[in-house]
Structure 1
Amino acid sequence: MAETPTGTTATSTTAPDGLPKGFRGAEQGWPELHRIPHPPYRIPFAGDLFGVGPRTPLQDSLRTARRLGPIFRRRLFGHEFVFVSGARLAGDMADESRFAKHVGLGVANLRPVVGDGLFTAYNHEPNWQLAHDVLAPGFNREAMEGYHGMMLAVAERLTDRWDRKLTAGHSVDVPGDMTKLTLETIARTGFGYDFGSFERGRPHPFVTAMVGTLSYAQRLNTVPSALAPLLLRAATRRNAADIALLNRTVDEVVEARRRSGGGDGDLLDRMLETAHPQTGERLSPQNVRRQVITFLVAGHETTSGALSFALHYLARHPEVAARARAEVDRVWGDTPVPGYDQIAKLRYVRRVLDESLRLWPTAPAFAREATRDTVLAGDHPMRRGAWALILTPMLHRDPEVWGPDADRFDPDRFEAKAVRGRAPHSFKPFGTGARACIGRQFALHEATLVLGLLLRRYDLVPDPAYRLRVAERLTFMPEGLRLRLERRPAPTTSDEAPDTTASASAPGCPVHGTGD
């Protein structure tokens, strides 16, 4: 979850509807907007709407970026919005002395769900700094070591499920099972709660409601705000019911903790019991609810997508999977349960994860606004409060940074020497700045651990007819991805993993609408 520091009050006043002034149209604050290209064939009022599919607006924006270049604008219902995808421009917007997070588009649409939670707080709202300072120690090394055993326990529930599927000759639903895994992991490690996801035939109602609220937030971007109550009447009623279910679920989690008299110092204990170290202030009950929903949603939704994409690429590139598996066997040996420190030693597995996040960052965009009058990358004047949306998948495919084969899956792009030689701020799967995702180390440790365990236990066999389709619900997730499993023999130790450095080319890039 990408955030920005409370100290940068770029927009300290709000419009009557509660949104920061300037939210409704990025044209406010761009004195030379005419210099920024836009799609052709605009129509009155709707503008460029017909170039935006209601189910795939972000992927449509990626295709537009390929045609129009590293910065372009799009008009929707009378307002212009600026999109950035080039590394030079995005790198300049990472300058914390001139830019801050902008809560806009789909993120602002989530405020009825999570209010001023860590992800959705406006820059002028004080609860971000309070919650961040109280919760940041929950992600230090000592805390992470404490989570490791629970991550292993949840992963064992996944492998038990996959063993049963394998025995029955069934394929596995990768996104569905990764969602169960990551929801149970954040629920147990952060809040001492068990949703029983692996014992259910259908997704837990919390997951259904969460997907509903995310999808609704995205749909709001494709209709004029004045017409939304009419055009989305049924969806609005469902969204209200989804929000109520999320609130009830979290209230049950908090009440169970209060009845138990406390946990083991996890995130919920910190929310309920810890005062700010300087001010002594505590989180209010309403803010506790908002932060719990934020962590449950963000703590599993993006990680499940990252794992799903990584498993897709591992199945499609058996030589990469063999190299990663050899590393797991070498580093873990015949130890039945890997220790906390052994996860960080899976450097090639981590590169697989990073490369998957490069091609399909599951949080696919983040917005930045100018905190003072400035000029973006020396080319585009911006007044204070002007903002733009950075398209992370296109930033991660900028050929000036990643080369002419930027659409190709190649984990060696994250070999240490390559990383050192790359322009800063060109890889941003967790946002940027002081309010970049607070749980990024948690997510990376969990995902690396799970990939190692699955590679050690199974050979991943893809469906040769499957072509990657990406579902959008503000986040990215592979759609319809199923894999067949073959059980591996017990690992044997070796002194060195084989040097299979070549990476196969992906058949195509879904941004172009072909292949995977």
Structure 2
Amino acid sequence: MAETGSRTTDGAALPKGFRGAEQGWPQLERIPHPPHRLPLLGDVLGVDRRTPLQDSMRFAHRLGPIFRRKAFGNEFVFVAGARLAADLADEARFAKHVGLGVANLRPVAGDGLFTAYNHEPNWQLAHDVLAPAFSREAMAGYHPMMLDVAARLTGHWDREAAAGRAVDVPGDMTKLTLETIARTGFGHDFGSFERGRLHPFVTAMIGTLTYAQRLNTVPAPLAPLLLRGATRRNAADIALLNRTVDDLVRARRRAGAGGDGDDLLDRMLATAHPETGERLSPENVRYQVITFLVAGHETTSGALSFALYYLSRHPEVAARARAEVDRVWGDTPAPGYDQVAKLRYVRRVLDESLRLWPTAPAFAREARQDTVLAGEHPMRRGAWTLVLLPMLHRDPEVWGPDAERFDPDRFDAKAARGRAPHVFKPFGTGARACIGRQFALHEATLVLGLLLRRYDLSAEPGYRLRVSERLTLMPEGLRLRLERRPVPAPVTAPLTASDTDGPASAPRCPVHGVGD
């Protein structure tokens, strides 16, 4: 383990030299900051504590590709430009930094894949043990379960449409993605679509994410006083998450973990590292289950919700995407695994939605050694910066003067080949990028295809996009009107052998390492 210095709010050690961003930027004065800075308070005037990410986006528009903000004595450096972000992607000089809201999640997620510090050994152990669960062969095995959960969504939406009611898009996408990861990863059914409200697990999860963000908006010494009630609620939320996961693991142990890699939980409980023979500890299993249940559904539900918002606002895009679904899938009741990847334009819709509103909207990078960022900004070892993905994805030098406009053709093959690497990063970067990227993209593309084939979508009159922040992003209050199209048969028809024939690829991790 590396030498350690200061500690996080939960007492975990941080790499030596971590003392805040300003300590590691020798020429900090060269980096612009907002005007009207106040002693002690810093740049907090006019800042909305509910939308710190969108506030930072506004500052980036005014201050440029790199800027700094100060709050309660702590100064933070933000990167919004593609050239700087590309340099930060250099794994030889930079690594993932666990800070700000992510570190605040360690009381609930510990050294799980997303919240582990780089020096903690359980990250590599868990990654190596779980990576085969995202191979092509494993993904094809999840596909029928994804179809089954999608059928529960469309059944619910059919009833709402028949009654003339608009549907709650963020709420229903959250139910869908929670059930999908719970079924495929852990063999568990939360019964989300049989409930009038979100499952208590989701309510507790939203509470912990919101609390983690609020901790960043108050001075640390005053947090126990200013957030006393919120701290009590957060402790109750964490206890509920832990109880839910402990019950799930206990039930699997009673049933007997398969040991043959049937799903994520079997791998966590019964699979040893292929080289060292190590296994995940019971405590780390809990952390990993919580990590996958939260990260495995929260960001995907946001991505689907934003995509459905843009489809409802751009009928010409929806018509083109629907025509592709009808052409590629035809009257096939249940599309096979390989048919999903053929929806290239639908995937572009999803990518363009993630460009404008990446639901995991930032990641932090720290210097492995003394270095100079992009040849201009000296950084000492341990200094870190936060990459603002919505601004990286709007950099006009990359995306053009119309970067704010929704246009899925930005992701056609020719356009994508013409762009530099590291300009589109909705799943993070480097060794700690999202281990479940392909899972999320397959699920989201499948669901969009099914919904486009089944419904005409229209937003309620007068709706204006509002983005809520709870570390992740979600379109707030989005409701859609549905009109059934006279096409598809039920989506639960059994798959035939031809749906998944062809040699399965050898187990591998589709990417090296959401933002784990």
> Is 1:265 aligned to residue 262 of structure 2?
yes
The answer for unaligned runs of 5 or more in structure 2 is 490-516
Pairs within 5 Å for 1:16-31: 16=7, 17-20=11-14, 21=16, 23-31=18-26
Pairs within 5 Å for 1:206-285: 206-262=201-257, 265-285=262-282
In structure 1, which of residues 308, 311, 332 is the aligned counterpart of residue 308 of structure 2? 311
Shift of 1:22: 5.0
Please name the residue that 1:332 is paired with: 329
Shift of 1:48: 0.8
Over residues 361-403 of structure 1, what are the superposed CA-to-partner deviations in whole Å (9 max), with x where a residue is unaligned?
0000000001011110011011111100000000000000000
Pairs within 5 Å for 1:46-445: 46-262=41-257, 265-445=262-442
Q: Distance in 2 between matches of 1:254 and 1:240?
A: 21
One-letter amino acid of the structure 2 residue matched with residue 418 of structure 1: A
1:19/1:479 CA distance change after superposition, 3 Å: farther
Q: Secondary structure at the match of 1:490?
A: coil
In structure 1, which of residues 447, 451, 454 is the aligned counterpart of residue 451 of structure 2? 454
Shift of 1:260: 1.4
Please name the residue that 2:508 is paired with: none
Q: Distance in 2 between matches of 1:184 and 1:24?
A: 41
Q: Secondary structure at the match of 1:226?
A: helix
Over residues 276-315 of structure 1, what are the superposed CA-to-partner deviations in whole Å (9 max), with x where a residue is unaligned?
0000000000000000000000000000000000000000
CA contact (8 A) 2:156 2:193 kept: yes
Shift of 1:489: 1.4
Question: Could you tell me the TM-score, scaled by structure 1's length?
Answer: 0.92
Over residues 456-487 of structure 1, what are the superposed CA-to-partner deviations in whole Å (9 max), with x where a residue is unaligned?
00000111300000000000000000000000
One-letter amino acid of the structure 1 residue matched with residue 192 of structure 2: S
Shift of 1:14: 3.7
Shift of 1:68: 0.2
Q: Distance in 2 between matches of 1:456 and 1:463?
A: 20
Deviation larger for 251-260 or 98-107 = 251-260
Q: Distance in 1 between matches of 2:121 and 2:257?
A: 27
Please name the residue that 1:13 is paired with: 4
Deviation larger for 337-346 or 43-52 = 43-52
Shift of 1:342: 0.1
> Is 1:45 aligned to residue 40 of structure 2?
yes
Shift of 1:19: 4.7
Q: Distance in 1 between matches of 2:442 and 2:360?
A: 18
Q: Distance in 1 between matches of 2:271 and 2:333?
A: 37
Shift of 1:18: 2.7
Identical columns (%): 83
Q: Distance in 1 between matches of 2:286 and 2:482?
A: 39
Q: Distance in 2 between matches of 1:237 and 1:45?
A: 28
CA contact (8 A) 2:105 2:115 kept: yes
Shift of 1:24: 4.8
Q: Secondary structure at the match of 1:459?
A: strand
Q: Distance in 2 between matches of 1:63 and 1:452?
A: 34
One-letter amino acid of the structure 1 residue matched with residue 80 of structure 2: S
Please name the residue that 1:472 is paired with: 469
Q: Distance in 2 between matches of 1:86 and 1:30?
A: 18
CA contact (8 A) 2:112 2:291 kept: yes
1:22/1:306 CA distance change after superposition, 3 Å: farther
CA contact (8 A) 1:49 1:222 kept: no
Q: Secondary structure at the match of 2:24?
A: coil
Over residues 178-236 of structure 1, what are the superposed CA-to-partner deviations in whole Å (9 max), with x where a residue is unaligned?
00000000000000000000000111000000000000000000001111000000000
Shift of 1:265: 1.1
One-letter amino acid of the structure 2 residue matched with residue 153 of structure 1: D
One-letter amino acid of the structure 1 residue matched with residue 166 of structure 2: S
Deviation larger for 291-300 or 76-85 = 76-85
Please name the residue that 1:508 is paired with: none
Q: Secondary structure at the match of 2:482?
A: strand
Q: Secondary structure at the match of 2:446?
A: helix
Q: Distance in 1 between matches of 2:431 and 2:111?
A: 17
Q: Distance in 2 between matches of 1:52 and 1:430?
A: 27
Q: Secondary structure at the match of 1:40?
A: coil
Q: Distance in 2 between matches of 1:261 and 1:390?
A: 43
Q: Distance in 2 between matches of 1:265 and 1:51?
A: 52
Shift of 1:60: 0.3
1:139/1:14 CA distance change after superposition, 3 Å: farther
The answer for unaligned runs of 5 or more in structure 1 is 1-8, 493-516
Over residues 119-153 of structure 1, what are the superposed CA-to-partner deviations in whole Å (9 max), with x where a residue is unaligned?
00001100000000000000000100000000000
CA contact (8 A) 1:364 1:475 kept: yes
CA contact (8 A) 1:329 1:491 kept: no
Q: Distance in 2 between matches of 1:107 and 1:193?
A: 27
Q: Secondary structure at the match of 1:369?
A: strand
One-letter amino acid of the structure 1 residue matched with residue 322 of structure 2: R
CA contact (8 A) 2:333 2:488 kept: no
Q: Distance in 1 between matches of 2:5 and 2:46?
A: 31
CA contact (8 A) 1:23 1:104 kept: no
1:156/1:12 CA distance change after superposition, 3 Å: farther
1:230/1:23 CA distance change after superposition, 3 Å: farther
Q: Distance in 2 between matches of 1:115 and 1:40?
A: 38
CA contact (8 A) 1:460 1:486 kept: yes
One-letter amino acid of the structure 1 residue matched with residue 472 of structure 2: T
Please name the residue that 1:512 is paired with: none
CA contact (8 A) 2:17 2:381 kept: no
One-letter amino acid of the structure 1 residue matched with residue 273 of structure 2: H
